Amino acid sequence: MFASGRPEIGQNHPSAKLYAQTLARDLWAHAGAGVNLSAIRNIVAVHRLREVSCLYGFTRFEAAPTSADGDLEDIQLAVRGAPISQDADWLPAIEQFGEGIFIHFDEGAIVEWLGRAATRNRQDKLLTGYGHWRTRFSGKPPPYPGTAYALLHSLSHALMAEIALDCGYPASSLKERVYALCPEGAPERCGILIYTATAGAQGTLGGLVGTAPRFAQILRNALERSRICSNDPVCADHEPDNRSGDRATHGAACHGCLLIAETSCEMRNLFLDRNLLVPTMGTDGASFFQV
């Protein structure tokens, strides 16, 4: 729905569960922003959305990773998951309303980037790290979400940190939903939804939607910050290997740059790499943006 390109999505009504507007390009794609926006198709200001969270179980010491498309995975963890009840016929859930901003990417640009030799080399390293990481699961491990997902996931984290500085919401109140739909291997739909939905006043003040017209500037600032990390060169030179634990799914990513509150991340801070975004100290030519 967000990628449909319709000027208005849903209904602008107090009882509506979804209302969004696809912004005209000249409202957010400013020529003097200093960043190439050709890979971004549309920006959608989501004035109202609904989030439903449901608790279906819990674990201690180790959380169950989710799949990239949001489905629940039957994963055999190193620890045993505790059911809410042996014969539960209902589950506790909470409905919350909030706002957000959706970035729709040009899938052709991402396919072209994935076909570059440098990107394929970086992908091979990330796949090697994923192979080391999956050995920790005794049963069915979560699948590799794809390098397109790692790109969008890394950008989502960089944008959330920058948006928090711009719009005034604390970073822990922002959440993400990354869409990298690849039914036949090549990305067919790519987008990032950054939103907030809380029980308090946050998420109802319009600060996040208000960042949409300034998106070009926010993107440029986020990419500039991603070039240098306070832990460089150690962070930039990190390679996925069999000695990194959870960090085996990471390239250049640490708490000084891309890692955020795990309650904000849909993938528990896995599959992140600054080298996919911009040139860094340890760059190998695989960056999607050139700033």
Q: In a 3-state reduction of DSSP, which class is residue 50?
A: strand
3-state SS, residue 180: strand
CA dihedral 105, 260, 165, 180 (to 10 degrees): 10
Secondary structure (3-state) at 179: strand
127: tokens are 């796949």
Report yes or no on whether pTM surpasses 0.75: yes
pLDDT on residue 75:
46
Rounded to whole angstroms, how far apart are CA atoms 174 and 284?
31
pLDDT for position 283: 74
Residue 161, class by beta-carbon neighbours within 10 Å (0-12 exposed, 13-18 middle, 19+ buried)?
buried
Instruction: Please state the domain extents for the chain.
Output: 2-76+92-276
| Start-end of H helices in 76-146 | 107-114, 117-134
pLDDT by residue for the chain (291 residues), tens digit each?
999 989 999 998 888 899 999 999 999 988 767 888 889 999 999 999 999 988 766 666 666 655 555 555 554 455 555 666 667 778 889 988 899 999 999 999 999 999 999 999 999 999 999 988 888 776 667 788 889 999 999 999 999 999 998 887 888 889 999 998 776 667 888 999 999 987 655 556 678 899 999 999 999 999 999 999 999 888 888 888 776 666 788 889 999 999 999 889 988 888 999 999 999 887 778 899 976
In which region does residue 102 sit, left (phi positive, over 0), alpha (psi from -120 to 50) or beta (all else)?
beta
What's residue 76's pLDDT? Answer: 47
